[in-house]
Amino acid sequence: MKLVLFQRNAFLNRGMKLGDKSISTVNGLLYMEREEKEMVINYSRKVYREVLRKTGFRDFKGHVRVDLVPKVTDFHRTKEGYSWKLGIDGIYEINANAPECGAATAALHQNRPELALYQPDPAERMVRVLNGHVGEKTVAFVIGEGVVKKEWGRFFMGSLYERGLKIKEILPQEMGEHDVVWRFGDVRNEGYTEFPPSFREELIKKQKESFVLNSVPRSSREDIGNKAYLLGSGERPLETEEDILWALGKEDLVAKPYEGASGNGIVFQRNCSRKEWEDALRGYVGKGYGLYRARWLPKLEIDEIKQGVAMDISPSFMANGDRLDYLYTIARVENYESYINRGTINVAQGAGFVGTLIDNVEEAG
């Protein structure tokens, strides 16, 4: 990978807004080599299909983002910026609920039009895939109440419309009048949701007869985003006293809710005293939590940021059953000290945003 900076002495720009928060954006472009792109796509497809098989939710349709933990080697300064070799150290989650990366990039390109000249356009790539699924039908776009959806969702919808998708915004109660519905907002059986309580059941009925993006699972067991399916070797559910005692004997674990959102409810062992960690475990035991090995993002030693930078990599796909059509890849950035203190990297909580990676040489302009 390589990062090409527009200005040698300026890495971040804080001009983008989300509510009352200033969102950092990168004064430059991030490039992904062809073999790195193939590695990211192949790894994501493999994990997604394994999870899909476990859920049994074979008729899922919708926008999916896979949040990966990158591995960085041979990091060095170049004349234009920085360069390094990309690997994969693991996965944080599969977001099959309502990924916001397309909306965030649409808002970024409104705010930073010079980036739009070079970066891949998520809307253009999505329209190319979606028109193959829905043809000439109008997509009814229903926006949830979350701050990102409300602030940036209409940028996204407008961008999709400008690229040739027949799309219009509707209210949740108007869903029954349309053959194609795109749910742009979180809906969960338990936990954080952005729609009225009745909407979930209405959507489940609707998707039996219509084309619905993003399909809603009938139970937590069917949820592709359920992090229980990502428990690996040396990790386990938090269900019993035995699990608590096991966790107290380990180091550098993280307790995460299976159906959490936006980094909420996550507790890192390294940020707690032993008593705080034990109290947290006892408070969450039997409440849909898993115990995972903490996978920390690598530190990029960017000269312009004294504390260094954390960066993740998140490829995005359009799913139809076990078929995943690649769309684009985004990255988020965070001052490394802030990232270590919080333990998560999330734009809604103040992390910075790179936008889409340039993932083919011919797209570099």
Residue 193 shares a structural domain with residue 274: no
Name the domain boundary from 291, 324, 340: 291
Residue 192 shares a structural domain with residue 164: yes
DSSP structure class, residue 286: T
Residue 78 shares a structural domain with residue 147: yes
Residue 179 shares a structural domain with residue 190: yes
Say what the pLDDT of residue 348 is. Answer: 72
- Domain encompassing residue 257: 229-291
Residue 111 shares a structural domain with residue 98: yes
Q: What is the pLDDT along the chain (365 residues), one digit of tens a residue?
A: 999 988 765 667 767 888 777 888 888 899 999 999 999 999 999 999 999 999 999 999 999 999 999 999 999 999 989 999 999 999 999 999 989 999 999 999 988 898 999 999 999 999 999 998 888 899 999 999 888 888 899 999 999 999 999 999 999 999 988 999 999 999 887 778 899 888 999 999 999 989 999 999 999 899 999 999 999 988 999 999 999 999 999 989 999 999 877 677 889 998 899 999 999 999 999 999 999 999 899 999 988 777 789 999 999 999 999 999 999 999 999 889 888 888 888 787 778 889 999 987 444 33
Query: Which positions ≥6 away from 222 have C-beta within 8 Å?
Result: 55, 56, 57
pTM for the structure as a whole: 0.92
CB 23 within 8 A of CB 17: yes
Residue 309 shares a structural domain with residue 169: yes
Domain count along the chain:
2
Cα(207)–Cα(214) distance, integer angstroms: 9
**DSSP assignment of 54-103:** HHT-TT-EEEEEEEEEEEEEEEEE-SSEEEEEEEEEEEEEEE-S---HHH
β-pairing, 2-5 with 28-31? antiparallel
Residue 298 shares a structural domain with residue 317: yes
Name the domain boundary from 291, 306, 336: 291
Say what the pLDDT of residue 337 is. Answer: 87
Residue 86 shares a structural domain with residue 179: yes
Residue 253 shares a structural domain with residue 208: no
Say what the pLDDT of residue 206 is. Answer: 93
Residue 130 shares a structural domain with residue 236: no
Residue 191 shares a structural domain with residue 318: yes
Residue 238 shares a structural domain with residue 323: no
